[in-house]
Structure 1
Amino acid sequence: MIVALSLLAYAVVLAGAGPRLLQAGSWADRAPRLAIAAWQALTTAIISSVVLAGIALTFPTVQVSNDLAALLHSCVMAIQAHYASPGGAAAGATGAVLALAVLGRAIWCLAAALSGAARERARHAEALDLVATAGPRTGIIVLDAAEAAVYCLPGRRQRTVVTTGALQALGEDQLDAVLAHEHAHLAERHDLILGMARAMAAAFPAVPAFRSAAAETARLIELRADDAAAERAGRLTLAGALLAVASGRHGHAVPAAALAAGGSGAGARIRRLIPPRSPLGRARTTAGSLSLALLLALPVLVLGGPAAAAAGHAVCPTAADGTGIEVSVR
């Protein structure tokens, strides 16, 4: 019970304080890739903590420091001792329902979101096959539309779409810049990252942390793609290109499942590109990465404890009559 309550408390603290900590200061704009990983880690840690709390209630067989060993070895007699009492049986059933409900809901919504986006992209790709033409460069197709838009369709049939309005509005260097932006989206599979964040927000709408994660992830993947494009084409060139493709309305040209260069928060992104880049620094990036690893590892450590302590701890019978069994139900 102590382990389960500790894990649930950890999830509550992360859900409450995590978004405020991640949104404090300007570090995320300086290191969008690390910030994306941080929001992913926060979401994963909250869900895994609740699921592991349910498991701890279902299989509370040994002392806190040896839970993982007992769970792995599944000492049948220790589990029977726990479920012999009405309170133990109720706790075990509650834990099983909690773990299965949270994990099942997360998996179901993730699968539904990704499959729905894939179907929408497939429908749009079929329409493009009918109306789009080959572009002036390899890997792009041209859509006849007055609106200046550049976007990509991730998935098995990756496509980068440029409207005729964008070709007229962009110079050669600017076109290179927005194409590099879209290539970064495709290469780093930002569609999957954003799909996961939005799926968790839809799965657990009562948790504000997941809504913040979805909104911030949508913003940060654009910043990350901007940084990748700026490395190839230059920051000011990219800023001018974004200004050109963000000035028009994209409601009819860009499908919802696509990732567009002139998308989320274009104005703020353009202002960010004007001054020279100020990276976070290797030391702070390393410290942040280690913090994320600890954030994810802590729930497992709380549930498992040191395996070495469990090695010499007798949790199962040593004789046929059960003599020597040590069961400590928590």
Structure 2
Amino acid sequence: MLPATAVALAVLAALLAWPVPAALARSRWPVRDPLVALVCWQAVGLAGGLSMIGALLVHGLAPWGHSLPEAVWTVLTSRPAGTAVRGDHWVALTLAAVLAFQLVGVLVLSWVRIARTRRRHRELLELVVQPGPQADARLLEHPAPVAFCIPGARPLLVLSSGMVAELDEEQLAAVVAHERAHLAERHHLLLLPFVAWKAALPVLPAAERAHGSVRELVEMRADDVALGSLHGTAPRRTLAEAIVAAAGGQGGGAVPTGALAVSGTGVRARVVRLLEPADPLPATARWVALAGAVLLLLAPTALLLLPAVS
């Protein structure tokens, strides 16, 4: 019979693999505070991975100790197991190793592949771009209205000539502020775990749902940060008009793979959110959500490190 700790971790992993992500994706409150929602999504992803691997690891090492640290120390010191080691223990250990290697390996591989793609696009763009209307922006001769940034050690913010021609000065400033927000808050790092999760577990519906939700929330967060630096009588309408203009240029093929663009995911939802803003999330609700994210991370950690429940 599985130890209760392994069962608890398996139940938590099951909850974080389907119902919790589904509920969070359907909730309406994340659009009121994308930053808090992004923290919650990161907690769901990390706690889910810990729970899946931990459930297998705890069961596999159960013969060697009453807690994971004790069992690991027993194995490292080459002491014999306290109880008989059955076939299901070896199977669990093998699956834990495979799953850990899969998740971590895909994460590293995704990082390397995306970084290589961004570096190649940056090197090609630097050959053809010119100084732009903003100090930190570069101008690309392209008829479609396009704006994007390539994050990394040498970030690149690009505006197409079509974008500069179509937008007025305030709208162009809104676009640049949006892309600056992506770079300043390193949104590509928030996206990476979910790109890897989707690639590592393609059969898991929650992986696709989480990836889509995080992409949309990242864009909404960049919109919010951009609004804080905009001036004028109607900054929300200005940014919304710029997003719509950029969305019309998506078919131009000028946005490279791995870039973050103002015309990214959830254009309709973002425009509606800008033009019909909901009330901000109350401070109490923010702290409750953040506390829930912390507890979600502490739960599998405590189950893994504290003495096993028998």
Distance 1:79-1:94 versus aligned 2 partners, 3 A rule: farther
1:211 maps to what in 2? 208
- 8 Å CA contact 2:17–2:48 kept in 1: the answer is yes
Task: Report deviation, 1:79.
Answer: 4.6
2:44 maps to what in 1? 42
Rg larger in structure: 1
1:156 maps to what in 2? 153
Matched, 1:135 2:132: yes
Gaps of 5+ in 1: 311-327
Matched, 1:240 2:237: no
AA partner of residue 249 (structure 1): Q
- 8 Å CA contact 2:65–2:81 kept in 1: the answer is no
| Pairing 1:293-304 to 2, within 5 Å after superposition | 293-304=294-305
- Alignment length, in residue pairs? 302
- 8 Å CA contact 1:235–1:274 kept in 2: the answer is yes
- Of the three residues 17, 20, 25, the one matched with 1:18 is 20
1:107 maps to what in 2? 104
Distance 1:123-1:303 versus aligned 2 partners, 3 A rule: closer
2:292 maps to what in 1? 291
For 1:139 and 1:77, locate their aligned partners in 2 and report how far apart those are by CA, in whole Å. Answer: 59
For residues 215-236 of structure 1, give each alpha carbon's deviation from its aligned partner in whole angstroms, at most 9, with x where no partner exists.
Answer: 1111110011011111221222
For residues 12-39 of structure 1, give each alpha carbon's deviation from its aligned partner in whole angstroms, at most 9, with x where no partner exists.
Answer: 1221211222023310110111111222
Task: Report deviation, 1:277.
Answer: 4.9
SS in 2 for 1:155: coil
For 1:122 and 1:187, locate their aligned partners in 2 and report how far apart those are by CA, in whole Å. Answer: 18
Task: Report deviation, 1:58.
Answer: 2.9
RMSD: 2.1
For residues 130-155 of structure 1, give each alpha carbon's deviation from its aligned partner in whole angstroms, at most 9, with x where no partner exists.
Answer: 21111122111100000001100001
AA partner of residue 37 (structure 1): V
1:269 maps to what in 2? 270
SS in 1 for 2:138: strand
- 8 Å CA contact 1:43–1:210 kept in 2: the answer is no
SS in 2 for 1:23: helix
Task: Report deviation, 1:68.
Answer: 4.5
Distance 1:276-1:300 versus aligned 2 partners, 3 A rule: closer
For 2:65 and 2:160, locate their aligned partners in 1 and report how far apart those are by CA, in whole Å. Answer: 64
Task: Report deviation, 1:92.
Answer: 2.9
For 2:155 and 2:227, locate their aligned partners in 1 and report how far apart those are by CA, in whole Å. Answer: 22
Task: Report deviation, 1:272.
Answer: 0.9
- 8 Å CA contact 2:150–2:157 kept in 1: the answer is yes
1:252 maps to what in 2? 253
Runs of 4+ with deviation above 6 angstroms: none
For 1:224 and 1:200, locate their aligned partners in 2 and report how far apart those are by CA, in whole Å. Answer: 22
AA partner of residue 214 (structure 1): H
For 2:58 and 2:262, locate their aligned partners in 1 and report how far apart those are by CA, in whole Å. Answer: 46
- 8 Å CA contact 1:149–1:250 kept in 2: the answer is no
- 8 Å CA contact 2:150–2:259 kept in 1: the answer is yes
Distance 1:38-1:79 versus aligned 2 partners, 3 A rule: farther
